[in-house]
Amino acid sequence: MNKSKLTNALLVTALLVQPTVSAAAPSTAVKTAPKTTAKQTKPTQSVVKTINDLAPIKISSKSTVKLTDVNIFSQDDGNILSFTVTFQNNDNKNILLNDYWTKVKTKTGTFYSVKLISADKDKKTVAPGASTTITYAAKIGKNLKISDIYFQLIRWDFSRPDFEDSIGFFNVPSSYVTSTPVNEVKKIRINNNPVKVKADQFSVYTDGDYNNLSVSLNLQNVGYKQFEDPNLKYVISTASGTNFPLTADTTSKGYNIQAQDNKMINLVARIPKTVSLNNLQLQVIQDDDSLKLSVPVATMQLPKANKQDLVVEAYKDKTINVGSQKIEARIVTAALNQSFDVSDLAIQVMLRNTSSKQVIVPKYNFVIQTESGYSYPIDTKVLDNVTLDPLEEKSIRLTASIPSSLAGGQYKLYMNLPVETEDKNAQFNYSVGIFDVPEPTPMQNALGVENQIQDDNGVYGVTLDSVQRLPWVDGDLVSAKFTIRNKGFKTVQLPELEGVLKVDSAKVSAGTRLVTSQASTLLGPQMETQVYVVTKLPTDLDFSQLQISLNKKVGEESNEWIQLTNLGTLRDLQAVPSGSNYRMNTEGHGADIKERKTWVYEGDTSNIIYTQLEVDNLEDRPVDMSQIVGYFKSSTGQIFKADVNQIDHASSPQGKNIVTLWSKIPKKVSVTDMQLIVGEGITENKLTPIKGTSDGYVNAAAMKLSAAYASSNSLLQNIELFPYTLSIYGLQLSLNDSSTVNVKFNYDLLQNLDYDMGTYEHKLILEIRDSSGEKFEKELVISSDLKVALSQSYSFSMNGSDLDKSGVVQLTLYDEFEGNRIRLGDQVAYYTNSK
């Protein structure tokens, strides 16, 4: 029989008799099934046959070659076939692999050229007692099935005309299952590394017109060396042969698997909802650069899809797979800042690692969907380089800007795993969770309302106490005061914060600062502290809304911690009636402030308005009192900056202090209904220290003043020079031969020691005027000329050559301050001529 006839005979025998035929010993026997009897009524269970059931081809009396894997990868221009044969050497000498080759032929007689994959090109021999796998790849016709193909094993024989000795054929019947059944493990070799693969989970959820598929693929390194990520490709293959690419998430790339360890690969795909989800298969593909082919290395059946409802109720936990680990995500709070055009929805999400190993959190992206179906992405970097240790929690704050016309109703938060595909236009976001957002807390005009914030450090209550617009030398200051309270039961570290302020949605890019009331950032249980967001604005700037944010700094970046909005005009400053206390409740610097007295020093061209404030230290320890900043405001709205004089040392516990403020004002300015705007000075990012220079102020109030023009006493008795009281009596004046006037008097000088005050800057002037109008002045310096004591005497001399000789003079006592004077008292006196 010639070679052609022999080949045809073998093909016919392979089709009709056995799925595997050996040319050396062809099998033609057909076993007849035993007859059944009436008693054999129990149904027999069907047996699923796989490629492992194919008989091997003998290449010697002891050694065999077996077909161990076949895969077809559908392509538009023809399919890619891969198949693996395993040589088992049971002889006592090497098998030379170069002596063998495999061919592919269809039942219609078409031959396809096959090539060894690159990883197997250097395999030359099989040692005695060993086995070796060889994988081939070929590009075949589009509509071919595995059962349409014969795999011919040949041995090179150069004594034959065509150099080929056909040893046998493999053919896989259509009834055989070539893909790995559901829940079974497939052992493959990738770059000559033995790896077991198994499709562990398959789930799907519907999103609009698409189904989002998720497959968890377990890879186990069963070799003896580390298995490095070979950059495999994955596809979902439908029953009709259509392929959809699966993409590994960011945790499933660039991995290494130690020997005998495993790795969970999370794969996702997005396919039209019209595509049937029945009988889906997962294919593992490896690019062979030298062959310029994408070679299928494994095909696994997927179970029936587990359809999931990813929508999570408000405040409920969602378990999310991160590689082989798991985390939980939950919305903690939601807040809405409504404004005229754009509103900000802020959502706080808590992440928790529920696994026993550290988790690298993927850079999830987030999208807010409104009730009407509009979606708005959230731009955030809060998940850059984030890891979670076992049971560790991390709080993240997300903010989305949405049109105010869409604000309100029910929102959904999509937590998406970013997926990168080869086709940049085909990128999609795979949702790992869709959360019902709880009804947001309104954050506009929420003065005095405590808002809860939970982050990695603890739970805080944050209250916007006030928003003030304050006069300053070259513009206005806007000061927003926050109280931050530790709501937990252990000491926490206040995060590093910065202040951000927007005016009518325009960010104030320069000059905005965060001022803290105390240096320590530790807060004990239920302890609170104050911070201020301060910026400068033009005096004539009108605005309708302010958005004030505290941002949490993380490295060079900052993320919003809380934001509140003030709509409309700001509230007027707290008005303090004349004679009433204004309490400053700054932590560690508590003080009561009250007007003691306000009067006017008149001058020729301008007046000086002068106020003394009683400032009581409310603390039970010595305290560096806040440096006071003040502005006088007239009833017509004119503003005058005040100079300030106060103590330059710590105030004693419960100590009483006097702070003086004054300003020059035009003579035409009425002091009726005058107010004093007073606050605590700040320098850079803290309260102004003693002897420091303030560059702003906070915690201001408008104190109504009882300003008056001073009236003098008819005698030089009980004259108030606070904190001193002076009485002059026993006055004697005499003029001697040298025209010298000798003045002598007795006095009582008392000092009120209940108060501590700054440097005494007043001058006490005694004027002597005769009937002709000629006058003489003498400055009396307290503590040097006049001693604090009772029944003291003082004398001085003056030139009296021009003095009227009538013997009558008027003595007037003045309080002089900054060049302007107040008449304190007058007294007529007589002098004697001592010539």
What DSSP line would sit under 590-612, residue for residue? -EEEEEEEEEEEB-SSEEEEEEE
Both 197 and 301 in one domain: the answer is yes
Alpha-carbon distances, residue 381 vs 363, 377, 553, 556, 704 (angstroms): 8, 13, 12, 11, 50
- Position 181 in a domain: no
Q: What is the DSSP letter of 191?
A: T
Q: 637 and 599, same structural domain?
A: yes
| Residues 6 or more apart in contact with residue 426 via CB below 8 angstroms | none
Give the CATH number of the domain where residue 647 resides: 2.60.40
Q: Would you say residue 322 lies in a domain?
A: yes
pLDDT in tens, 467-482: 999 999 889 999 999 9
Burial class (CB in 10 A: 0-12, 13-18, 19+), 140: buried
Q: For residue 25, what pLDDT is reported?
A: 32
- For 752-771, the pLDDT digits (tens) are 999 999 999 999 999 998 88
Q: How far apart are CA 653 and CA 655, in angstroms?
A: 5
Q: Residue 786 corresponds to which tokens in the numbers above? A: 């006049």
Same domain, 343 and 384: yes
* CATH number of residue 220's parent domain: 2.60.40.1470
| 136 SS3 class | strand
Distances (CA, A) of 639 to 468, 642, 674, 676, 820: 16, 9, 10, 10, 21
Q: Can you tell me the distance from the alpha carbon of 752 to that of 740, in angstroms, rounded to the nearest whole number? A: 37
Among 222-226, 460-464, 552-556, the least confident range:
552-556
Based on its alpha-carbon atoms, the radius of gyration of the chain, rounded to whole angstroms, reads: 48
Predicted pLDDT of residue 11? 36
- Let me know if residue 44 belongs to a domain: no
Phi, psi of 606 (to 5 degrees): -150, 160
Q: Are residues 324 and 294 in the same domain?
A: no
- By CB atoms closer than 10 A (0-12, 13-18, 19+), residue 460 is buried
What's the chain's length in residues? 835
Last residue of a domain, one of 306, 327, 361: 306
DSSP assignment of 652-695 equals PTT-EEEEEEEEEEETTS--TT-EEEEEEEEETTEEPPTT---S
- Cα 719 to Cα 725: distance, rounded to the nearest angstrom: 5
Q: Is-contact 82 146, C-beta < 8 A? A: no
**40, part of any domain:** no
How far, CA to CA in Å, does 4 sit from each of 1, 162, 479?
8, 12, 99
Are 614 and 519 members of one domain?
Answer: no
**Do residues 369 and 510 both lie within one domain?**
no
23 pLDDT band (50/70/90 cuts)? very low
Q: CA neighbours within 13 Å on the CB side: how many for 205?
A: 11
Residues 561 and 637 placed together within one structural domain of the fold: no
Q: How many CB atoms lie within 10 A of CB 732?
A: 15
Nearest to 347 by CA among 361, 337, 332, 366: 332
Q: What is the pLDDT of residue 458?
A: 84
Residue 402 lies in a domain: yes
| pLDDT band at residue 805 under the 50/70/90 scheme | low
pLDDT at 205: 85
Query: Does the residue 492 lie in any domain?
Result: yes
- Same domain for 541 and 583, yes or no, is no
Report yes or no: 335 and 443 within 8 Å, Cβ to Cβ: yes
481 assigned to some structural domain = yes
Same domain flag for 148 and 200: no
Q: Measure Cα distances from 623 to 576, 585, 659 in Å.
A: 24, 14, 15
Q: What is d(CA 248, CA 282) in angstroms, rounded to the nearest whole number? A: 13
Measure the CA–CA gap between 458 and 545, rounded to whole angstroms.
31
Q: What is the pLDDT of residues 63-102, one digit of tens each?
A: 999 999 999 999 888 899 999 999 999 999 999 999 999 9
| C-alpha separations of 545 from 235, 504, 556, 560 in Å | 53, 5, 29, 19
511: domain CATH number is 2.60.40.10
Helix, strand or coil for residue 378? strand
User: Residues 596, 738: one domain?
Assistant: no
pLDDT tops 50 at residue 461? yes
Residue pair 395/332 in contact (Cβ under 8 Å)? The answer is: yes
Residues 792 and 823 in one domain: yes
Tokens of 614: 């009683």
Bigger pLDDT: 207 or 472?
472
- Look at residues 567, 601, 634 and tell me which one is the last residue of a structural domain: 567
Number of domains in the chain: 6
Lowest mean pLDDT among 556-565, 566-575, 631-640: 556-565
- Give the DSSP per-residue string, 425-481: GG-EEEEEEEEEPPPPEE-BT-TT-EEEEE-SS-EEEEEEEEEEEEEETTEEEEEEE
Please report whether residue 33 resides in a domain: no
C-alpha–C-alpha distance, residues 656 and 9, integer Å: 120
Round the average pLDDT of the chain to a whole number and report it.
87
d(CA 668, CA 245): 85
Nearest to 676 by CA among 611, 601, 720: 611
Q: Are residues 583 and 662 in the same domain?
A: yes
Residue where a domain terminates, one of 658, 682, 709: 709
- Check residue 209 and give its pLDDT: 86
d(CA 653, CA 801): 56
Measure the CA–CA gap between 600 and 621, rounded to whole angstroms: 36
- What's the domain range around 821? 719-833
pLDDT (average), residues 222-241:
91
pLDDT in tens, 609-668: 999 999 999 999 998 988 999 999 999 999 999 999 999 999 999 999 999 999 999 999
260 class by beta-carbon count within 10 Å (0-12 exposed, 13-18 middle, 19+ buried): exposed
Residue type, 105: K
Asked whether the predicted pLDDT for residue 432 surpasses 90, the reply is: no
Residue 487 CB partners (closer than 8 Å, separation 6+)? 452, 458, 459, 460, 461, 526
Residue 196 has pLDDT above 80, yes or no: yes
Q: Which of 30-39, 165-174, 206-215, 412-421 has the lowest mean pLDDT?
A: 30-39
pLDDT score recorded for residue 554:
76
- 194: exposed, middle or buried (C-beta count within 10 Å: 0-12, 13-18, 19+)? middle
Residue identified by tokens 């006055």 is 731
Nearest by Cα to 491 from 469, 465, 460: 460
* Residues 484 and 494: beta-carbon distance below 8 Å: yes
* pLDDT for residue 129 is more than 70: yes
Residue 790 identity (one-letter amino acid): L
pLDDT score of 32 more than 70: no
What percent of the chain shows pLDDT beyond 70?
A: 92
pLDDT, tens only, 1-18: 444 433 443 333 333 333
